[in-house]
Amino acid sequence: MKEKKRLTTEAGAPVNHYQDSQSAGARGPLLLQDYFLHEKLATFNRERIPERIVHAKGSGAYGTFTVTHDITKYTRAKLFSKIGKQTKVFTRFSTVGGEKGSADTERDPRGFAVKFYTEDGNWDLVGNNTPVFFIKDPKKFPDFIHTQKRDPHTNCKSPTMVWDYWSLNPESLHQVLILMSDRGTPNGYRFMNGYGSHTFSMVNDKNERIYVKFHYKTMQGNKTFTDAEATKLKGTDPDYSQRDLVDAIEKGDYPKYALKIQVMTLDEAKNFSWNPFDLTKVWSHKDYPLIDVGEIELNEIPANYFQDVEQAAFAPSNLVDGIGFSPDKMLQGRILAYPDAQRYRIGGNYQALPVNKCPYATNNYHRDGAMRFDGNGENSPNYYPNSFDNNTEDDSYKGVNYELDSNIAGYFDRNEGDDDHFTQPGNLFKIMTPEAKINTINNIVGAMSGISGSKKDEIINLQLCHWFRVDIQLGMGVAKGLGVEIDPKLLR
């Protein structure tokens, strides 16, 4: 028999009337002095922290990362220091555009974020299930996300907003094509790949620097839903992905992902066909083959979803020695935006929460702020330098100086000299199977059929021009599906 535990207030005082409020007589009004009633209702009112603007609905699990191959010639990061080394991880999967109550099988990119708890601090590899993104400059991000959310007039999702924006930003074509394929509706989180997406850098123990992209390849095999299957599940099991992940781990069928990298030298980056830091482009696997690194195994569902999954906070700014940034403009924008979002959503001390806290010693002079529950530095000095403690800067973590490509500050057109938005999505469409091509065309037609309003024809025609430039077969298929007649002479 379980030991009985008495009910108490948050301050620890015993509560002997948990279900009945204090009143003036059995039928009388309630009394202000029933402080536990106030505590209970006030706490309930604050149960929901602001949901994430994007990636609001997610699933998470703890696990381990194990090094299987030696990459120390590229990086001195300690988590890769030897084969067999294990590092605890927390992974959060998510949809991107929907609210917290949205369906798991929406046609949407999927977030795939991994927090590595290393002895040099936490490393957050915050990515998606696609290697590219819709835009290449962070200043465009709020506008793009507005189109994925609700129309400020109708408060409904608007295909017109979505396609108007995409048609006016052809840099989105590569990601849109992936989204409109069956990869846009993955079968849960266990059967999809993940990508760091951005270009990062690595530094080895000789201070040699290279650029790198991270990939997680599902070891369960890729599985997707057709549009019809995904739509059916939205109504019959909107929490499909969450349920699938929990059920698999609880029965010991642990999801695994192979971590791989692509590397590019600084000289290769200068001579690359496209801007190697452009988030709308990929590096060819033929020219820059995948290199095996290790395996991620997810083997523990958090005991409490809110504590760990909802309060999990990832930021690309969380790097460790041996891994660095690159000139990727979208990455540079996320260095600011992500920690700022977490401080707004959870509070200034969000990294002290168990799921976000580095399990190794941390030492700095940050103090105070809401929800400071970790000792707050106790009676030690809150400034540096000082004459009382013996804290020092560690020169062995000084980092590597590097030259910038330019010393001219200005606003540069993101597409000037880099406006080929069509070759890579065209190459992707060409390697699709005949079935995948048909499904992709049908998905595009279904999505574009929702465009309405006075600008309908203008938006459709502009987007059709983009599809034709990607691939003639793709353009003709979409045009036919939308009932738009195309003069073959115009395609010569």
Q: How many residues does the chain have?
A: 492
Candidate list 128, 349, 356, 443, residue with the active-site label: 128
Q: Is the peptide bond before 381 cis (omega within 30 degrees of 0)?
A: no
Torsion, Cα of 298, 301, 305, 310 (10° steps) = -10
Closest alpha carbon to 309 in 21, 142, 59 = 59
The SS3 assignment for 256 reads strand
Residue that the structure tokens 């995409």 belong to: 166
- If one counts every other C-beta atom within 10 angstroms of the C-beta of residue 227, the result is 19
Q: Quick one: which H or E segment has residue 12?
A: none
- What's at 32, amino acid-wise? L
Smallest Cα–Cα separation from 467: which of 176, 91, 39, 186?
176
Is-contact 199 207, C-beta < 8 A? no
C-alpha to C-alpha distances, 6 to 14, 17, 296, 304, nearest whole angstrom = 7, 11, 42, 22
Question: Phi then psi for 6, rounded to 5 degrees?
Answer: -80, 145
267-304 burial, b if ≥16 CB within 10 A, otherwise e? eebeebeebbbbbbbbbeeeebeeeebbbbbbebbbee
Compute how many other C-beta atoms are within 10 angstroms of the C-beta atom of residue 40: 16
Tokens 């940034």, residue located: 325
Contacts of 101 (CB under 8 A, 6+ apart): 57, 238
The residues near 256 (Cβ < 8 Å, ≥ 6 apart) are: 218, 219, 220, 295, 296, 297, 298
Rounded Cα distance, 466 and 171, in Å: 10
Torsion angle of C-alpha atoms 87, 312, 328, 407, degrees rounded to 10 = -100
Residue in the structure block whose two tokens are 């059967």: 191
Q: How many CB atoms lie within 10 A of CB 100?
A: 12
Separation CA 389–CA 367 (nearest Å): 16
391 is a catalytic site residue: no
Residue tagged active-site, from 55, 198, 215, 466: 55
Query: Is 128 a catalytic site residue?
Result: yes
CB 241 within 8 A of CB 105: yes
Q: Which residues are catalytic?
A: 55, 128
